[in-house]
Amino acid sequence: MNDETTPETPPAPAPSGPRAAAQLERRLKEEVARRRTFAIISHPDAGKTTLTEKLLLYGGAIHLAGSVKARRAARHATSDWMEIEKQRGISVTTAVMQFVYGDHVVNILDTPGHQDFSEDTYRTVAAADCAVMLIDAAKGVEPQTEKLFRVCQLRGIPVFTFVNKMDRHGRDPLELMEEIERHLGMRTCPMNWPIFDGFEFVGVYDRQTRLVHVFSADQTHGATAIEAQSAELGSPEADAFMTERAKARLAADLELLDIAGDAYDPARVAEGKLSPMFFGSALNNFGVKPFLEAFLEMAPHPDKVPVAEGDGDEPITAISPELSGFVFKIQANMDAAHRDRIAFFRITSGRFVKGMDAWHPRLGKSVRLKNPTAFMARERSTIDEAYAGDIVGLFDTGIFRIGDALTSGKNLQFKGIPHFSPELFRKIRVADPLRRKKLIEGLTQLSEEGAIQVFRDWWQEAPDIVGAVGTLQFDVLAHRLGTEYGCPPILTQLPYTLCRWVVPAEGSKAVFDPKTFKVGQGALIAKDRDEHAVILFPNSWGVNWAKEQNKGFELLPVSPLAEHAGSLGKSGRSGR
Ligand code: G4P
């Protein structure tokens, strides 16, 4: 069951002969063009679970979505997906869902809700090619939406907006557009426009096709897919769907949009500067299908960006024959009797084949990938092959770390996935001094797994501070240190809320010296897991003050990548 590692040279690329190579190239192009890999980002309660379920419903991956009467039936369907977890005692949750829609292979990466909000959430965004930002029409941009949006912005990926709950009386859509621009600094471009809201929300007007799509609720309360009736705006059929009030409002809004709105510009969308915007109600399926279809057409497939650089060769892209990818999430076995973990491997190029050997550059070893798991929405099964954009679950006996690459043929390394600034910090110790070594071992392993970030006061010998973005991370940490390492920790709250990584400013030759670096009242100079200098601050005022005082330095909200970890990649701070 476990993957095997043997010290070897990197495996040779699979195809041999020009014909096989040409065939593979064609196949790779086709498969990559079909892939869409995205995360849905939202604040809790905006309707992410509901929308995800509806996308699976329209994708044919489930047959009943979960509102009211169907909820129980849907739960059964959900538990069926967990077959592999049951067999192996590993909880992989529904972290990744794959389904086929038309010609597209869709991979949805789940970002956990607020209870579980953790760095995992950020790292999941690092494995997506674009994001769907879900907004509650009545609430607008909420704090967690903004946090996740910032991660998308950092990576420069396209963000699509879906305004949900239009069946309730919400805010004026024009006001929502304005709010997104003001809070997030991103312009929006409505691809469709709601035909009224609340009880009078009957559908959406597609600005490209000039078609009015009107829905009527069925008896299943949104549990089954519904089709829209469509008619051209201004036609008697379309007029028949709308009240006079709805018609007048639509006409006025469209006029304003045409004058003041941004035109759809794929280049600006690709840079994350312009967000195509859609309206609907996930609960009763209004507008879900128009959104899904337009989104799949517009969303990027994974071949845009060079994913990594090899030993001085051509940059690797999604259609390069060599396999490459990186681990963005490691999920520990919830069953303490099994130490196995699942590493979530995002493929960035080439073809993944079950049982293949892949090169693990960090360890300098070849790894046999025997039991890869695919995350099909309908079932979890062992997969035979996968392509760029897909996520594969690899059994991990402790050989993977977040950000690790696997490749075939080339000794390349990704720049990794940055650490994001924690917002909560705790002092950590064990009551029994004899268990200190064990505590350090546990902290080291758990931080490699990405469960927690570990720091140490600059002047201390051993890690003594842990950082997280959600309190649940501390609960899990305490539980696992107790059960798996036999050293239940004592955690004490610390006043810091921000961590900043210190790097020389562009063009500066400044060298960090903890004795002369000015951090101000209440801040602490520390080191991260990789011995990089960080400052822990109680508030953003402290960060600004320190920036002013230390002109030769930059204070980064994410850990600097690779250059400092000795990897081969060159550009960007993204995970790719
Ligand atoms: P989340 O994953 O983002 O946290 O949200 P979730 O889908 O669980 O939805 C949160 C609540 O919002 C649920 O109601 C859900 O039914 C409701 N909701 C989702 N989409 C829509 C929509 O388009 N219109 C309206 N009116 N409501 C929507 P709940 O009462 O908290 O739960 P439940 O009893 O329905 O399960």
> Is the domain of 558 the same as that of 439?
yes
- In this structure, is residue 345 part of a structural domain? yes
Q: At 212, list the tokens.
A: 């009015």
> Is the domain of 158 the same as that of 217?
yes
Query: Quick check: pTM over 0.75?
Result: yes
CA–centroid distance, residue 381 to ligand 1 (Å): 30
Of 357 and 398, the structure prediction assigns the larger pLDDT to 357
Residue of 135, 283, 286, 288 to test ligand 1 pocket, by largest number of atoms within 8 Å of CB: 283
Residue found by looking up tokens 């392509």 in the block = 387
Phi-psi region of 150 (alpha: psi -120 to 50; beta: other; left: phi over 0): alpha
**Domain termination residue (choose one: 283, 298, 313):** 298
Query: Which CATH number covers residue 369?
Result: 3.40.50.300
Task: Give the whole-angstrom CA distance, residue 410 versus residue 568.
Answer: 12
- In this structure, is residue 572 part of a structural domain? no
Task: Say which range, 35-49, 150-164, 343-357, 371-385, has the weakest mean pLDDT.
Answer: 371-385
In order, the DSSP letters of 430-474 are ESSGGGHHHHHHHHHHHHHTTS-EEEEETT-SS--EEEESSHHHH
- In this structure, is residue 569 part of a structural domain? no
Q: 554 near 503, Cβ under 8 Å?
A: yes
Instruction: Provide mean pLDDT across the span 329-339.
Output: 64
> Is the domain of 21 the same as that of 44?
no
> Is the domain of 495 the same as that of 460?
yes
Domain that holds residue 493: 424-564
> Is the domain of 258 the same as that of 407?
no
Domains contained in the chain, number: 3
> Is the domain of 511 the same as that of 535?
yes
Res. 34: pLDDT tops 90: yes
Partners of 4 in the β-ladder:
368
Task: Give the whole-angstrom CA distance, residue 38 versus residue 167.
Answer: 26
CA distances from 62 to 58, 86, 379 (A): 8, 20, 10
> Is the domain of 122 the same as that of 251?
yes
Of 194 and 342, the structure prediction assigns the larger pLDDT to 194
User: In this structure, what DSSP letter does residue 191 have?
Assistant: S
Task: Say which range, 13-17, 283-287, 491-495, 571-575, has the weakest mean pLDDT.
Answer: 571-575
Res. 484: pLDDT tops 50: yes
Q: What is the reported pLDDT for 123?
A: 85
Each residue of 74-90: pLDDT tens digit?
A: 443 333 333 333 443 33
CA–centroid distance, residue 224 to ligand 1 (Å): 16
CA–centroid distance, residue 227 to ligand 1 (Å): 21
- In this structure, is residue 136 part of a structural domain? yes
Residue found by looking up tokens 């699509």 in the block = 160
Share of the chain above pLDDT 90, in %: 46
> Phi, psi at residue 504, to the nearest 5°?
-65, 140
For the Cβ of 167 lying below 6 angstroms from any atom of ligand 1, the answer is yes
Each residue of 497-537: pLDDT tens digit?
A: 999 999 999 999 999 999 999 999 999 999 999 899 999 99
Task: Say which range, 129-143, 335-349, 518-532, 541-555, has the weakest mean pLDDT.
Answer: 335-349
Non-local (6+) Cβ contacts of 548 within 8 A are: none
> Is the domain of 86 the same as that of 197?
yes
Q: What is the reported pLDDT for 544?
A: 96
> Is the domain of 60 the same as that of 136?
yes
Task: Give the whole-angstrom CA distance, residue 523 versus residue 546.
Answer: 10
For the Cβ of 46 lying below 6 angstroms from any atom of ligand 1, the answer is yes
Res. 426: pLDDT tops 60: yes
Task: Say which range, 15-19, 151-155, 259-263, has the weakest mean pLDDT.
Answer: 15-19
Partners of 211 in the β-ladder:
206, 232
- In this structure, is residue 570 part of a structural domain? no
- In this structure, is residue 320 part of a structural domain? yes
> Is the domain of 387 the same as that of 470?
no
Residue of 50, 94, 115, 200 to test ligand 1 pocket, by largest number of atoms within 8 Å of CB: 50
Give the pairing of strands 159-164 and 130-136. Answer: parallel
> Phi, psi at residue 467, to the nearest 5°?
-130, 145
**Domain termination residue (choose one: 386, 414, 442):** 414
Query: Which CATH number covers residue 483?
Result: 3.30.70.3280
Residue found by looking up tokens 């549990």 in the block = 223
Non-local (6+) Cβ contacts of 50 within 8 A are: 65, 66, 67, 164, 282, 283
Q: What is the reported pLDDT for 413?
A: 61
> Phi, psi at residue 7, to the nearest 5°?
-70, 120
Each residue of 428-474: pLDDT tens digit?
A: 999 898 999 999 999 998 888 888 999 999 999 889 999 998 888 89
> Is the domain of 460 the same as that of 311?
no
E strands, 299-384, where? Answer: 324-332, 341-349, 351-353, 357-360, 365-368, 373-375, 380-382
Instruction: Provide mean pLDDT across the span 9-18.
Output: 61
Task: Give the whole-angstrom CA distance, residue 287 versus residue 285.
Answer: 6
Each residue of 52-70: pLDDT tens digit?
A: 888 988 887 766 555 333 4
- In this structure, is residue 266 part of a structural domain? yes
**Domain termination residue (choose one: 360, 383, 414):** 414
- In this structure, is residue 146 part of a structural domain? yes
Each residue of 111-146: pLDDT tens digit?
A: 766 666 777 788 888 899 999 999 999 999 999 899
> Is the domain of 109 the same as that of 233?
yes
Q: What is the reported pLDDT for 381?
A: 58
